[in-house]
Amino acid sequence: MSSSWLVCLLALLVGVVALTQGLPLLEDLDEKSVPGGRIVGGYVTDIAQVPYQISLRYKGITTPENPYRHRCGGSIFNETTIVTAAHCIIGTVASQFKVVAGSNWRTGSDGVITNVKQIVMHEEYFSGAAYNNDIAILFVDPPLPLNNFTIKAIKLASEPPLEGTVSKISGWGTTSSAGSASNQLLAVDVPIVSNELCDQDYEDFGDETYRITSAMLCAGKRGVGGADACQGDSGGPLVVRDELHGVVSWGNKCALPNYPGVYANVAYLRPWIDAVLAGL
């Protein structure tokens, strides 16, 4: 067998394995959209209801002629700072991104558009477990014009939410696992699941790297399913009582009854966030 055929075969095998493992909830960058669709099990919302939500738009270095396209979500911490997931930006540079705030739409140029000037990713991302410490900070310029209506900062949690507390997730992700993305902003309400129960649910999933750590937070309708974030919602907010508690990270497909969605745990990661902001 030639070396070129070996390379192709290995690439195919890696793709098959990835599809059976926990995938980051990152958009696949295709053009599919369903304007009337739903985040899994959710409802259409308005940016005025989730004014901290942003769309992180991206284009490849080798395709400068292409437009910026939605890749992930994120949350506004202040006029120059965005919180998102590390897996959204790993292997990229700041000039590949734009931040769109104050918009209900995944595509188009309405809302306020600004440039990403600097990216700070958690230094121990993926250390100790798959998608561990899945958080990053983006600094934008020009600053976002906060108006407390459609563009508003959100407070970061300093204490973890209680099990069973209802959280709100928002974004433009697919309406089913590997399905079509929504062009309209959607939201879904799901209860917090304890890390202990969540770790039990993922005990037989994948290999030993897929486990729930203190840097993660889980939410979903355990035993029921049908409500979750999905691909394209990555980096977006999980909010409890007007505080950012989670950053959409990963899971086994989407909205399965026995696998809650997994999020970066903002309260646990708060010392890292504070250190980054203090350092700059």
The one-letter code for the residue type at 37 is: G
Looking at the domain assignment, is residue 119 inside a domain?
yes
DSSP code per residue over 61-116: TT-TTSPPEEEEEEEEEETTEEEE-HHHHTT--GGGEEEEES-SBSSSS-SEEEEE
| 20 assigned to some structural domain | no
Residues with a catalytic annotation lie at 87, 134, 234
Residue 17 lies in a domain: no
pLDDT at position 27 = 58
Give the least confident one: 14-18, 209-213, 239-243.
Answer: 14-18
pLDDT value for 38 = 46
Cβ atoms of 222 and 209 closer than 8 Å? no
- pLDDT confidence of residue 113: 98
pLDDT of residue 17: 35
**Cβ neighbours of residue 185 under 8 Å, at least 6 residues apart?**
44, 45, 46, 47, 50, 53, 103, 104, 105, 106, 170, 171, 172
* pTM, 2 dp: 0.88
Q: Is a pLDDT exceeding 90 seen at residue 4? A: no
Q: Indicate whether 37 belongs to any domain.
A: no
Domain that holds residue 156: 43-279
Q: Which ranges of 157-259 would DSSP assign to H, the alpha helix?
A: 195-201
Q: Tens of pLDDT along 102-142? A: 999 999 989 999 999 999 999 999 999 999 999 999 999 99
Q: How many domains does the chain have?
A: 1
CATH number at residue 226: 2.40.10.10
Inside any domain, residue 163: yes
Tens of pLDDT, residue by residue over 225-242, are 999 999 999 999 999 999
121, burial (CB in 10 Å: exposed 0-12, middle 13-18, buried 19+): buried
pLDDT-derived band of residue 23, with 50, 70 and 90 as boundaries?
Answer: low
pLDDT digits (tens, 9 = 90+) for 85-106: 999 999 999 999 999 999 999 9
Q: Evaluate if residue 31 carries a pLDDT over 90.
A: no
Pair of tokens at residue 7: 């390379």
Burial of 265 (0-12, 13-18, 19+ CB in 10 A): buried
Please write the tens of the pLDDT for every residue from 54-88.
999 999 999 989 999 999 999 999 999 999 999 99
Per the model's pLDDT, the better-predicted residue between 17 and 232 turns out to be: 232
Does residue 71 contact residue 259 with C-beta atoms inside 8 Å?
Answer: no
